[in-house]
Amino acid sequence: GIQVEQSPPDLILQEGANSTLRCNFSDSVNNLQWFHQNPWGQLINLFYIPSGTKQNGRLSATTVATERYSLLYISSSQTTDSGVYFCAGANTGNQFYFGTGTSLTVIP
Amino acid sequence: KAGVTQTPRYLIKTRGQQVTLSCSPISGHRSVSWYQQTPGQGLQFLFEYFSETQRNKGNFPGRFSGRQFSNSRSEMNVSTLELGDSALYLCASSSTSYGYTFGSGTRLTVV
């Protein structure tokens, strides 16, 4: 299967700070998503981004498929951004491989 | 448009029992996938169903099984529960354009 490496594993930010989360894949993927897991365990889809750049409010993501990595940018972080961020990728079929996540804590 | 609905939200079972979890996908989504999340192993793929057929299966023992009905609703079953089966079980439905949408999960505790 595909190995997915996420960095950093943990991140503590002051409210208002910016951050970049990274995801590296051991093999090429043609499906890639970023998720935020809320305190109740639900995985919220942030971006479906097999390639290119997308933005949604304070969040944006860039995937460079040829180099097998993706970045998630969080600007002007808020305490509600706290939680665990996962990236996941798939190359054939619909079996996604997940990274181990980045645990983000935003302090006021 | 309703999201992915998983029932029940919480479940406590005794070792050796069996359990059935349910997942109703987003209307129009024909693919349903199941994942197990534990602190030690992270998110691991169980299986995927598409149009009532198992299309893909992860590396789990035969105690873990699933099925999908003609209305795309899916169930997964775990027989002869072990303590290590305690986990958050997540179901996702997908379309080709938007990737996975997950349900809220079922938190299973085996005692």
Mark yes or no for CB contact A31/B103 under 8 Å.
Answer: no
SS3 for A80? helix
Above 70 in pLDDT, residue B97? Answer: no
Confidence of residue B1 (pLDDT cuts 50, 70, 90): low
The pLDDT tens digits for A21-54 are 999 999 999 899 999 998 888 899 999 999 999 9
Q: Which residue has the higher pLDDT, B94 or A68?
A: A68
Is B38 in contact with B90 (CB distance < 8 Å)?
no
Is B43 in contact with A98 (CB distance < 8 Å)?
yes
Size of interface A-B (CB pairs under 8 A): 56
- Taking alpha carbons only, the member of A49, A95, A100 closest to residue B39 is A100
Is A31 in contact with A89 (CB distance < 8 Å)?
yes
| Residue B98 sits at the chain A interface (C-beta within 8 Å) | yes
SS3 for A79? helix
- Is the bond into A50 cis (omega within 30 degrees of 0)? no
The pLDDT tens digits for A71-85 are 999 999 999 999 999
- Measured CA to CA, the distance from residue A55 to residue A62 in angstroms comes to 9
The pLDDT tens digits for A7-25 are 999 999 999 999 999 999 9
Please give, rounded to a whole number of angstroms, the shortest distance from the CA of A40 to a CA of chain B: 8
The pLDDT tens digits for B31-83 are 999 999 998 889 999 999 999 999 999 999 999 999 999 999 999 999 999 99
Mark yes or no for CB contact B56/A43 under 8 Å.
Answer: no
Beta bridge partners of A43: A37
Please give, rounded to a whole number of angstroms, the shortest distance from the CA of A42 to a CA of chain B: 5
SS3 for A65? helix
- Measured CA to CA, the distance from residue B7 to residue B11 in angstroms comes to 9
Q: Please give the pLDDT value at position B64.
A: 98
